[in-house]
Amino acid sequence: MPPVLELRDITKRFPGVLANDHINLTLNEGEILALLGENGAGKTTLMNVLYGLYTPDEGEIIIRGEKVEIHNPNDAIEHGIGMVHQHFMLVPVFTVTENVMLGVESVKNGIFLDRKTAAERIREISQRFGLRVDPHAVVENLPVGVQQRVEIIKVLYREADILIFDEPTAVLTPQEVEELFKVFRSLVEQGKSLIFITHKLNEVLAIADRIMVLRNGRVAGITTPEEATRESLASMMVGRDVILEVEKPPARLGELVLEVRDLVVQDDRHLVAVKGVSFEVRAGEILGIAGVQGNGQTELVEALTGLRPVVSGSITILGQDVTNAEPRQVIELGSAHVPEDRQKDGLVLTFSVADNLVLNTYYQMPFARGINLDHQAIERAATERVQQFDVRTPSIFIPVANLSGGNQQKVIVAREFSRPIRLLIASQPTRGLDVGSIEYIHSQIIQKRNDGCAVVLVSPELDEIMSLSDRIAVMFEGRFLAVLPAEEATRERLGLLMAGIQEPMPV
């Protein structure tokens, strides 16, 4: 029997980039193929070619032994290919049923939507594949994990039997990931074939039947979980040996840098998002704040950095009260902020690399003399920092938008870390970055800690929290459920806390 899907010599060029260079891929029936690679390795491009969003410059697509042409997503769906996107494509105010039927609406009497039949089918699909979901629930009220199930149902509703999952675990708790993997298995048992795009090594080893690693638009290798290790996969992805474990000397605690008391903060909809959080961070330690996204971490960080008003409680940095202070006052106290969304908050994408490197110091000596900017000084500093922090850019004058995500993050890190800082607040500092960049940024954070900086690290990635932190707080629905010394924090314990399950008091 021919494989379900075969890609032969797929080549896709963008101006100046060879995104896919003669890639061959085979997907067998009932198989989970993991597509592993760093950002920019060409995974997404390849899948967009398969899904009809890009037309390949060369190569052919063969489905069940037949050569096909896929020009748009409709063609792809026609051929039984479905894609579960990383960013959900759901209408928040619609119900599950309405979202699923959107685009393939069943109709009665010619013009009226037939929600009932659709809901019926959704129920049937959800039972068959173990995708528990209420067809009549409104999507915006559903947790992320359930929204993802809706996305999967959408694809199954369109009768896809080749399912592409684009970084599906990025937004899930460890428990939700387990759930998803169960769904994966039941899908495969019922004859579906899956392509699972990711850059998380543990997951690949846990679920995949075969692993294909892409690097720089080429196939770097094909292997199986039995043969591969985390280290071998990482070096295949990056093209060199990678140190996955961060080495850090024991913490040398210094003075009290950040003190937060009973902090209450509202979110954009004026709902209380941070519900009375208190903690301290001392010089020379990293406090990791774990938690599923959307549990108040964003609001907490914004309050700490002066970006969001504090309703009640207090924030003190180095003995100075900065409750409801202007961001600039917080910055000038020696606080650095690596924001959660680098493109929204951390950079002005249309500004040059050089300008972004002085985004919050442009008005100080030596970058300004009176009201005049000293462009020479700015450029000198930029050249220096680009070198020191290994930012890969052809020039300091090009817009930072033209840099890859990893290099954009390095620009932020270079800017924030090259100031004399006492407090570092890093929110998801490695989100969406490749292994190489993660390794680099982690080492920089540890370096700052060793130099006596107090660090608050917010991240939904347990691996990151566990490998960097000295103490770990778990945030759930606006509260700290626990603050544990790193030695006492196990994955299981943190995972349960992240899901809001308080363990019984230790005896």
Partner 1 sequence: MDNEAITSDQEPQPTAAARRPILQRIFIRKGIWASLVVPVLSVFTAFIIGGVIIAASNTAVLAAWGNIFTAPLEALRITFKTVYDAYLALFQGAFGQPAELSAALRTWRETGQTQALWAALRPLGESLVISTPYIYAGLSVAFGMRGGLFNIGAEGQLFVGGLASAYVGYAVKGLPWIVHMPLAILAGLAAGALWGAIPGLLKAKTGAHEVINTIMMNYVAFRLTDYLLTGPMARPDRLPITPQVLPSAYIPTIFPPPVRFHWGFFLALGAAALMYWFLWKTTRGMEIRMTGQNQDAARYAGVRIAVITVLTMAVAGALAGMSGTNQILAVDHQLVRAFSTGYGFDSIALALLGNSHPLGVVLSSLLFGFLRGGAARMQSVAGTPVEIIRIIQGMVIIFVAAPAIIRSLYRLKTPREEDTLLSRGLTS
Supply the minimum distance, in Å, between the C-beta of residue 231 and partner 1: 21
User: Judged by CB under 8 A, which of 392, 447, 490, 491 binds partner 1?
Assistant: 392
Q: Which residues contact 505 (CB under 8 A, 6 or more apart)?
A: none
Q: Which is nearer to partner 1, 347 or 486 (CB)?
A: 347
Nearest approach in angstroms of CB 124 to partner 1 is 23
User: Closer to partner 1 at the Cβ: 67 or 328?
Assistant: 328
85 touches partner 1 (CB under 8 A): yes
Cα Rg of the chain, angstroms: 24
Query: Least Å distance between CB 368 and partner 1?
Result: 5
CB count within 10 Å of CB 216 equals: 15
Buried b (16+ CB within 10 A) or exposed e, 372-381: eebeeebbeb
Q: Distance (Å, rounded) from C-alpha 5 to C-alpha 7?
A: 7
Task: Please report, to the nearest 10 degrees, the dihedral formed by the alpha carbons of residues 236, 237, 243, 246 taken in order.
Answer: -150
Cα(39)–Cα(438) distance, integer angstroms? 11
Site map 185..224 versus partner 1, x via CB under 8 A: -------------------------------xx-------
Query: What DSSP string runs through 386-413?
Result: HHHTT---S-TTSBGGGS-HHHHHHHHH
- Whether cis (ω within 30° of 0) applies to the bond prior to 56 is no
DSSP of 188-208: HHTT-EEEEEE--HHHHHHH-
Tell me how many residues contact partner 1 (CB under 8 A).
Answer: 64
Q: Does 133 bind partner 1 (CB under 8 A)?
A: no
One of 115, 337, 422, 431 touching partner 1 (CB under 8 A)? 337
The answer to whether 157 contacts partner 1 (rule: CB under 8 A) is no
Stretch that binds partner 1, among 190-198, 363-371, 445-453, 499-507 (CB under 8 A): 363-371
Cβ neighbours of residue 258 closer than 8 Å, sequence gap 6 or more: 279, 280, 281, 304, 315, 316, 317, 423, 454, 456
Q: Reduce the DSSP state of residue 5 to 3 states and report it.
A: strand
Q: 261: exposed, middle or buried (C-beta count within 10 Å: 0-12, 13-18, 19+)?
A: middle
Under rule CB under 8 A, residue 339 binds partner 1: yes
Residue 137: C-alpha distances to residues 75, 133, 409 (Å):
30, 8, 38
Q: Assign 142 to helix, strand or coil.
A: coil
CB proximity list for 3: less than 8 A, separation 6 or greater? 26, 27, 28, 29
CB of residue 474 vs partner 1: minimum separation in angstroms? 26
| Alpha helices in 144-296, H assignment, sequence order | 144-157, 174-189, 201-207, 230-238
Which of 222, 368, 377, 483 touches partner 1 by CB under 8 A? 368
Q: Dig out the tokens for 60 from the structure.
A: 């052919």
By CB under 8 A, tell whether 402 contacts partner 1. yes
| 161 lines the binding site for partner 1 (CB under 8 A) | no
326 lies in the site for partner 1, by CB under 8 A: yes
* Residues of this chain, 262-321, that bind partner 1 according to CB under 8 A: 305, 307
Q: Does 16 bind partner 1 (CB under 8 A)?
A: yes
1, 15, 109, 420: which one contacts partner 1 (CB under 8 A)?
15
Q: Interaction with partner 1 in 415-454: which residues (CB under 8 A)?
A: 434
* Binding of partner 1 by 242 (CB under 8 A): no
Candidate list 375, 447, 492, 503; residue touching partner 1; CB under 8 A: 375
Identified binder of partner 1 from the candidate list 26, 175, 314, 404, rule CB under 8 A: 404
Residue 235 in the binding site for partner 1 (CB under 8 A): no
User: x/- binding map, residues 343-362, to partner 1, per CB under 8 A?
Assistant: xxxxxxxxx---x---xx-x
Asked if 6 touches partner 1 (CB under 8 A), the answer is no
Stretches 39-47, 110-118, 200-208, 255-263: which one binds partner 1 (CB under 8 A)? 39-47
| Helix, coil or strand: residue 140 | helix
Stretch of residues binding partner 1 (CB under 8 A), selected from 83-91, 134-142, 276-284, 487-495: 83-91
Count the Cβ atoms, other than its own, within 10 Å of residue 145. 16
Applying CB under 8 A, does 98 fall inside the site for partner 1? Answer: no
Q: Which residue has the tokens 């039984």?
A: 80
**Pairing label, strands 320-321, 310-317:** antiparallel
Sole window of 47-55, 111-119, 194-202, 267-275 interacting with partner 1 (rule: CB under 8 A): 47-55
**Residue 39 engages partner 1 in binding (rule: CB under 8 A):** yes
Footprint of partner 1 (CB under 8 A): 14-19, 38-42, 44-45, 48, 51, 53-54, 73, 83, 85, 89, 102-103, 216-217, 305, 307, 326-328, 331, 337, 339, 343-351, 355, 359-360, 362-363, 368, 371-373, 375, 392-394, 398-399, 401-406, 434
